[in-house]
Amino acid sequence: MNTIAVQGAALPPATRNRDTAAERRATLFLLGPAMTFLALLSIWPFAYLIYASFTSYQLAIPIPIEWVGIDNFTRMMSNPRFWRSLGITVIFALVAVPLQIVAGLGMALLLNGVTRGREVYASLFLIPMMVAPIVVGFSWNLFLNPIYGPLNSFLKAIGLNPPAWAQSPEWALPTLVVVDTWQWTPFVMIVLLAGLNSIPQRVYEAARVDGSTRWQTFVNIVLPMLFPYMMVAFVLRFIDSFRVFDIIYILTRGGPGTATQNLAYYTYDMGFGRFEFSIAGALSIIQLVLLTVGTMAILGFAKRRDKGPISDAPLPPTVFNAAAQSAMGAKP
Amino acid sequence: MTTTVSPPVADSSLPETETLAARLSVIVKHVVLVVVLALFLLPLAWLLLTAFKPYAELFTSPPSILPVNGTLVNFSDGWAIGGGKGIGDSLIVASISTVLCLVLGYPAAYALARRFPPHGQLSFTILSLRMMPPIVPVIGFYLLFQELSLFDTYTGLVIVYTFMNLPLVIWLLAEFIRQIPKTYEEAARIDGAPWYRLFWDVLFPLSAPGILTAGILAMIFAWNEFLFALVLTGEKVITLPKALASFFLFQQPNWGQLGAIGIVAIAPLLVLSYYMQRFLIRSFSVGSGGR
């Protein structure tokens, strides 16, 4: 709107008024279809979701549908399976994501050490996150197969007694954490590589002139300057950790038992394994609330802990960190 | 040791006087990178090797590393048992939804970029849709699709994928358009061109690279998507990830055929990987327009 007013000032007033009205109609015309589509497809299914979660809706059993209020929610809260799946979701968010940050930092530093061929290395490292998660799960299923897989054959050959990884009750969850870390570390690496690129060469030179060792430079200069980038990576990976589903479906089917059922898989199992749509609907809504609260908490924590780098960081307004910046109330 | 002795100014201005130690350290770094990379990509390399192994070689323990009697039969068999159908369906759904995303998204992005402040409330609302895990809306979609007879149809899946990718496409395009200087439009406006001419004749050609990037991303996400396809389709529409997953219902899947399908599923993405890392680095870098 600003630019329109400024440009309009050079024109006669009559033209400006007509222009503004026309511009407003144009905006509506341009924005309208996409907004209608998005609004329709968020509200309509969501209405069904709300309806299902507050009634006794069950697809398989033709009982009369009754309004049951928050019954589905309270029933779920008292179910240990819910709490276990919540715990597994939290493990993904709080174990796998930090692992990815640490591994991604290592890879970014390694890549930053070379100039020749850096882009080729980066694109090869990026392959796991580009590949369909189903194919990722499938490759790992093959790779970790206790009988025909190469890893266990190798471990047996050097005299170890390896577990059955995805099929073993103790190792199934760690295996999934490793696979998720494998797939998404490249993403963190790329974000942190961009962060490292943003540190000017003269900063390193100044530190060297001041006689700081490489380790001191890393801890006192590089890490603080990378902090906003790590936060962006953390928030995005945290949000995505609620999505983990495909690799579970392929590698463990939530098993053995319920050892690897996160909230997403539990919801799927309730909805499409048992057709308990009311429970599944309530689970979906709980996840949405948890995700929103969790993201806000992380952003709030980051803001309070270190107001400077996060809110004043010269991060580019990309799609990836726009959410973070908007959520933190960055003024347009 | 030597670097601390020599003054830093001379060090940076004369690269040809690089010390032996510096050169060695670069070589060591490359060696470390290659080893890490090789280990890192091992599971995918194994998939590739498996795709060329004949049936008898799949179930030997310990497994052969390289295929002894390499064969291409897995590719033709994989195509026949459902891989072909999967590729076709995935292509249909991914490309139609991508085109829809761009058709709906580009005008909206233009309006957002030129008429609204960056990071405004509207932008954030649009983007937050993208952040929602798919398991949250999928139940609502399932019930709605049952009601509207959209279950197990191409139309249904296209609608869902468009919904899934549109927020991202709008955002990427809006960011791209914001980086195009307004001088072009101002010049055209002074010449008396109406808004739709500015939009179509002036800005649209300048946005081609942004449209390409957004289109590629939408295509990749639709190509890789699994949960919606699993829940919202049945026997008629079987996308590639769904076809792959369905073979796991058998106790002893034919790894060779699955490997072949998997390789075909990821081959287009390997080609795009180089392009993607450039795009991602640029997206996260300060002053992204200048790089």
All structural domains of chain A: 81-327 (1.10.3720.10)
Q: pLDDT digit string (tens) for B96-149?
A: 999 999 999 999 998 888 877 766 677 777 777 777 889 999 999 998 998 899
Separation in Å, CA of B72 to nearest CA in chain A: 19
Other beta carbons within 10 angstroms of residue A95's beta carbon come to 16
Tell me what pLDDT residue A294 has.
82
Q: Which residues of chain A have pLDDT under 50?
A: 1-17, 307-332
Q: Which residues of chain B have pLDDT under 50?
A: 1-14, 287-291
Chain B residues in contact with A195 (beta carbon < 8 A)? 284
Separation in Å, CA of A182 to nearest CA in chain B: 8
CB-based burial label for B248 (10 Å; 0-12, 13-18, 19+): middle
The structural domains of chain B, with segments of one domain joined by +, span 83-290
Tell me what pLDDT residue A312 has.
40
d(CA B72, CA A154): 27
Answer yes or no: do B137 and A150 touch at CB < 8 A: no
Q: How many residues does chain B have?
A: 291
Q: Classify the complex by whether its ipTM is higher than 0.90, answering yes or no.
A: no
d(CA B192, CA B197): 10
Other beta carbons within 10 angstroms of residue A103's beta carbon come to 18
Let me know: does A271 contact A277? Beta carbons within 8 Å.
Answer: yes
d(CA A153, CA B55): 19
Q: Which of B167, B248, B277 sits opposite A123 (nearest CB)?
A: B277
3-state secondary structure A307-326: HHHHHHCCCCCCHHHHHHHH
Tell me what pLDDT residue B71 has.
85
Using CA atoms of B238, B249, B268, A237 in order, give the dihedral in degrees to the nearest 10: 100
- Counting Cα atoms < 13 Å in the Cβ hemisphere of A188 gives 29
**Backbone angles phi and psi of A55, in degrees to 5:** -125, 180
B28-38 residues labelled b (16+ CB within 10 A) or e (exposed): eeeeebeebbe
Residues 6+ apart with CB under 8 A from B173: B105, B106, B109, B110, B113, B207, B210, B211, B214
Separation in Å, CA of A48 to nearest CA in chain B: 5
Separation in Å, CA of A223 to nearest CA in chain B: 16
Chain B residues in contact with A188 (beta carbon < 8 A)? none
Q: Which of A29, A138, A187 sits opposite B258 (nearest CB)?
A: A138
Answer yes or no: do A114 and B30 touch at CB < 8 A: yes
Handedness of CA A150, A151, A154, A160 (dihedral sign): negative
d(CA A205, CA A217): 10
Using CA atoms of A51, A56, A60, A61 in order, give the dihedral in degrees to the nearest 10: -140
Give the CA distances from residue A123 to residues A128, B258, B276, B288, in Å, rounded to whole numbers and listed in that order.
10, 25, 8, 19
Residue written as tokens 């609502």? B140
Answer yes or no: do A267 and B62 touch at CB < 8 A: no
One-letter amino acid of A314: P
Answer yes or no: do A280 and B139 touch at CB < 8 A: yes
Q: Which of B32, B58, B195 sits opposite A110 (nearest CB)?
A: B32
Tell me what pLDDT residue A328 has.
40
Separation in Å, CA of B61 to nearest CA in chain A: 5
Chain B residues in contact with A139 (beta carbon < 8 A)? 43-44, 46-47, 262
CATH code given to domain B83-290 = 1.10.3720.10
Answer yes or no: do B284 and A153 touch at CB < 8 A: no
Closest C-alpha among A248, A178, A290 to residue B230: A248
Kindly identify which residue of chain B lies nearest to residue A133, measuring between CA atoms. Answer: B224
DSSP state of B268: H
